């Protein structure tokens, strides 16, 4: 299992580059604080969160935003702060852009990282994509996955529309983005 997870690290690094832009395309610009938003949340809060995702992921598309929102929820539920070494995150994913982007969003929200050895990828099929967040000191964990409605709504968003779709996703309710997985 460890070998499989470690091999996934290299694949994750390669996939992360592909999540935010097409081969040969110019990188998508990070969200701008001056971009208008028809948000039920504060515009500056939405833009700050989109910026946090973009700094880690290179863009703020809907799947990376889903990972961010899941990570925020998980650390709140587990009673942890961003950057805690008491957190371990394992993202189960196929080696496909969209699904793998969730891991970067989780990293942006939680501060977990490959370098700190508290973020790992493990192989899974698309229908089995999920992220487990573990508070090591207590053994308490939560596993989350995107909802079927989210996956359908944001499947294969054209690259030029990723920023708008990410902004839209950031403004959805938690229950519209993710659910607890068994």
Q: What is the pTM of this model?
A: 0.79
* Residue 9, pLDDT above cutoff 90: no
Q: In terms of pLDDT, which residue wins out, 31 or 1?
A: 1
Please state the three-class secondary structure of the chain as a single string.
Answer: CHHHHHHHHHHHHHHHHHHCCCCCCCCCCCCCCCCCCCCCCCHHHHHHHHHHHHHHHCCCCHHHHHHHHHHHHHHHHHCCCCCCCCEEEEEEECCCCCCCHHHHHHHHHHCCCCCCCCEEEEECCHHHCEEEEEECCCCEEEEEEECHHHHHHCCCCCHHHHHHHHHHHHCCCHHHHEEECC
* Residue 36, pLDDT above cutoff 90: no
Token pair for residue 99?
A: 């699904």
Task: Give me the chain's average pLDDT, please.
Answer: 84
Backbone angles phi, psi at 111, to 5 degrees: 85, 0
pLDDT at 12: 41
pLDDT at 41: 56
**CATH class name, domain 2-19+33-180:** alpha beta
* Residue 110, pLDDT above cutoff 60: yes
CB 69 within 8 A of CB 45: no
């Amino acid at each position: 299992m460890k070998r499989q997870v470690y091999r996934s690290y290299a694949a994750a690094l390669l996939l992360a580059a592909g999540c935010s832009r097409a081969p040969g395309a110019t990188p998508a610009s990070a969200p701008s604080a001056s971009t208008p938003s028809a948000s039920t949340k504060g515009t500056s809060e939405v833009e700050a969160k989109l910026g946090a995702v973009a700094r880690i992921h290179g863009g703020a598309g809907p799947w990376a935003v889903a990972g961010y929102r899941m990570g925020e929820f998980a650390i709140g539920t587990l009673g942890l702060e961003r950057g805690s070494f008491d957190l371990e995150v394992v993202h189960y994913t196929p080696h496909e852009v969209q699904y793998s982007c969730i891991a970067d969003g989780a990293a942006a929200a939680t501060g977990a990282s490959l370098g700190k050895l508290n973020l790992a990828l493990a192989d899974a099929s698309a229908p089995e994509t999920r992220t487990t967040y573990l508070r090591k000191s207590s053994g308490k964990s939560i596993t989350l996955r995107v909802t079927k409605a989210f996956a359908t709504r944001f499947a294969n968003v054209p690259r030029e529309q990723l920023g708008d779709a990410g902004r839209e996703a950031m403004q959805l309710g938690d229950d519209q983005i993710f659910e607890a997985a068994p």
